[in-house]
Amino acid sequence: MIANSTFAFLALVVSESESGGGGLLSVNGGLAFWTSLTFILLLILLTRFAWKPILSALKQREDAIKDSLEQAEKAKDEAKQILAQNQNSLSKAEDESKKIIEQSRLFAQNLKDQMIKDSKEEAKKLIEEAAAEIDRKKNAAFDELKNQIAEISVQAAEKILKENLDAEKNRKIVDKYINEISKN
C-alpha cells in the first residue's frame, strides 16, 4: 500500500520535474550542502552552548530532588527510630519507678511493722518495769508503814503508859492516834 502510493507519487513528481524543470523530488546539491553545513554547525554549537548545560542542569536538579527525597525518607526513619527508643526508655523508666515505689513501700511497711513491734515491746517492757517498780515501792511503803505503825504503836503505848489513863481516856487517845494515822 505504502510502496504503491509512494511509487505513484514518485512517478508523478518525476514526470513533473521532466516537464517543469527542477521537480519536487530532484535533490538539489547546493541545498544539501548548505543543509549539511548548517546542521553540523548547529549540532556542534547547540551541543556546546545549549544541550550540555541544559542536560547537566536538569540532571543536577533531578539528583538534588532525589537526594532531598531520600534524605527526608532517612530523617523520617530516624525520627521513627528515636521515637521508638524514647517510648522504650519511657516505659522502662516507668517500670523502674514502679519497682522503686514498690520496693520503698515494702521497705516502709517493714519499717513500720518493725517499729510498731519494737515500740510495743518497749511499752510492754516499760509497763513491766513500772509494775515491778510499783511493786517494789509498794513493798517498801508497806515496810515503812509497818515500821511507822510499830513505832507509833510503841509511842502510843509509851504515852498511854506515861499518862496512866482510864479506859475511856485510853480509848479516846487510841482513836485519836488512829485518826492521825489514817490522816497521814
- Return residues touching another protein (CB under 8 A): 1-2, 4-6, 8-9, 12, 16, 20, 22-36, 38-39, 41-43, 45-47, 49-55, 57-58, 60-61, 64
Cβ within 8 Å of residue 80, ≥6 positions away? none
The answer to whether 40 and 49 have CB atoms below 8 angstroms apart is no
Cβ within 8 Å of residue 170, ≥6 positions away? 160
> What residue spans of 47-166 are helical by DSSP H?
52-163
Looking at beta carbons only, is 32 or 157 nearer to another protein?
A: 32
Looking at beta carbons only, is 25 or 157 nearer to another protein?
A: 25
Looking at beta carbons only, is 62 or 121 nearer to another protein?
A: 62
**Cell numbers found for residue 154:** 510503841
User: How many other CB atoms are found less than 10 A from the CB of residue 158?
Assistant: 10
Q: Residue 98 CB, nearest distance to another protein (Å)?
A: 55
Looking at beta carbons only, is 26 or 91 nearer to another protein?
A: 26
Q: Residue 101 CB, nearest distance to another protein (Å)?
A: 59
Say which amino acid occupies 24: L
Q: Residue 75 CB, nearest distance to another protein (Å)?
A: 22
Q: Residue 66 CB, nearest distance to another protein (Å)?
A: 14
